[in-house]
């Protein structure tokens, strides 16, 4: 799988998800089901009351490989496991209002897919200090 990266559009900070383990797209179009008394399930009414929702969950390996995962977009290089975790948490997944993000890669539109950064988790195993596993979830749409 080709590299996937996220761009924090407020200050154009980039993070490259290297060695992606899983990319889980999920689409949801909520439906309200109305089962009328005395009718079969096939005759129930299905009412769509919201538009489509979409999200992406990405799991990747965070490791020391002497390559700047910020791709030169940050004020310093981001190479070590510790630097990558701090950078993604403090600069990419910034809690400020009005911060926007776009995902780029083969399955996303060429101009990037606008997303909201919803979830970030790192699993660091002290018995295996050579890498950590990162997981991020993004909801598709423009942040307002």
pLDDT tens profile 34-44: 888 988 888 88
What are the two backbone dihedrals, phi and then psi, of residue 73, each rounded to the nearest 5 degrees? Answer: -90, -10
Q: What is the mean pLDDT of the chain?
A: 90
pLDDT confidence of residue 1: 62
pLDDT confidence of residue 71: 96
pLDDT tens profile 50-97: 889 999 999 999 998 899 999 999 999 999 999 999 999 998 888 777
pLDDT confidence of residue 50: 86
Where does 4-140 sit in CATH, by number? Answer: 2.40.30.200
């Amino acid at each position: 799988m080709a590299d996937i990266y996220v761009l924090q559009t407020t200050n154009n900070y980039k993070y490259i998800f290297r060695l992606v383990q899983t990319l889980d797209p999920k689409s949801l179009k909520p439906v309200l089901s109305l089962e009328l008394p005395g009718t079969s399930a096939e005759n129930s009414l299905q009412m769509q009351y919201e538009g489509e929702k979409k999200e992406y969950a990405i799991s990747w390996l965070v490791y020391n490989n002497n390559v700047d995962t910020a791709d030169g977009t940050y004020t310093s290089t981001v190479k070590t496991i510790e630097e990558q975790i701090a950078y993604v948490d403090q600069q990419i997944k910034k809690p400020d209002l009005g911060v926007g993000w776009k995902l780029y890669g083969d399955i996303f539109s060429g101009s990037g897919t606008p997303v909201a950064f919803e979830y970030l988790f790192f699993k660091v195993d002290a018995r295996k200090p050579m890498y950590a596993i990162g997981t991020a979830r993004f909801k598709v749409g423009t942040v307002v």
